[in-house]
Amino acid sequence: MNPPILELQTVAHVYPDGSKGLHDCSLTLQRGRRYALLGANGAGKTTVLQHLNGLLRPTAGQLRIDGQAFDYSRAGLTALRSRVGLVFQNPDRQLFSALVEEDVSFGPLNLGLDADEVRARVAAALDAVGLRGHARRAVHQLSFGQKKRVCIAGVLAMQPDVLLLDEPMAGLDAPMQTELAALLDQLAARGVTVLLSTHDIDFAFRWADDIHVMAGGRCIASGPALALCAQADVLHAAGQRPPAALALHAELVDLGVLPAGPAPRSVDALLDTLRAQKHSGVITA
């Protein structure tokens, strides 16, 4: 097996004001998978993301990239950040330029690419997020969801191997969430490792391949979404209840309404299963 593309090893972080961000936090990211970083507010999700991108430096423990300990040299940071893109939660705190295409060009230009290459990347990134027609618009004329997509384009234009997103679904309504999830799926299908933080276990269960559970500044459990969400004690320790789809499925299997087998990933999928059941007319009880 390849070494993980990114890894935190027993990382601790103490903020300058003395508050503890992380302690003894370990987690790994494998190439091309979709990860959810699940935890309550204040569990340390944002701090983890900032460590993975080299914005924060561990007080103890280490960050490893491709199996190598990361050295925090200037060149190393540039290389790390060009491979690991981070999208922050609030667009108004990360967009510098008022013009969409200018802002997206910021990252690629910093990588030292020539103008033609940058132009091509900006166009491709705006295409990917569905904002090609808005290249010449002013950021302040866009909706919240569009601004969020400009932020993502700004990171995609750097063509990262790993994309980190801090609470990307916050403030988006259901159709916008579906759209964004589809975009992230596309990226993952192209081999980009995606890690997003969320406090919504139903979303994490529905979307992620693997889940890292954070509580009190530690990653208390990691694993495939299905296996992990079945561990009620772990979820409880993180202040989460089991995903609705999983809990319902378990009850319905117990009652003999549904055959045993892998649980559907969402309540909608469960509803579909029940409807199919009805048409087949078989009640196993």
CA–CA gap between residue 41 and residue 26 (Å, rounded) = 19
CA distances to 85, 127, 144, 184, 218 from 171, rounded to whole Å, are 21, 23, 8, 17, 26
Instruction: Choose which of 12, 226, 257, 269 interacts with a copy of itself (CB under 8 A).
Output: 257
Give the three-class secondary structure for 194.
strand
Residue 119 contact among another protein, a copy of itself, none, beta carbon within 5 to 8 Å by kind: another protein
Length, in residues, of the chain: 285
Q: Judged by CB under 8 A, which of 35, 70, 88, 203 binds another protein?
A: 88
The CB density around residue 189, as the number of other CB atoms within 10 Å, is: 10
Alpha-carbon span 139 to 222, nearest angstrom: 38
Please pick, from the candidates 123, 172, 226, 269, the single residue that binds a copy of itself as defined by CB under 8 A.
Answer: 172
User: According to CB under 8 A, which one of 12, 109, 176, 220 is a site residue for a copy of itself?
Assistant: 176
Distance separating alpha carbons of residues 103 and 241, to the nearest angstrom: 40
Does residue number 278 form part of the binding site for a copy of itself (CB under 8 A)?
yes
Q: Which does 280 bind (CB under 5 to 8 A by kind): a copy of itself, another protein, none?
A: none
Amino acid at 71: D
Q: Which does 58 bind (CB under 5 to 8 A by kind): a copy of itself, another protein, none?
A: none
- CA 232 vs CA 4, 62, 240, 273: distances in Å: 27, 30, 9, 24
143 binds a copy of itself (CB under 8 A): yes
For another protein, the closer of residues 5 and 95 by Cβ is 95
Residue with tokens 């589809």, as numbered in its chain: 182
Nearest distance from C-beta of residue 82 to another protein, angstroms = 6
Using CB under 8 A as the criterion, which residues of the chain lie in contact with a copy of itself when the complex forms?
A: 40-42, 143-145, 170-176, 199, 201, 239-241, 244, 247-248, 251-252, 254-257, 267-268, 270-271, 274-275, 277-278, 283, 285
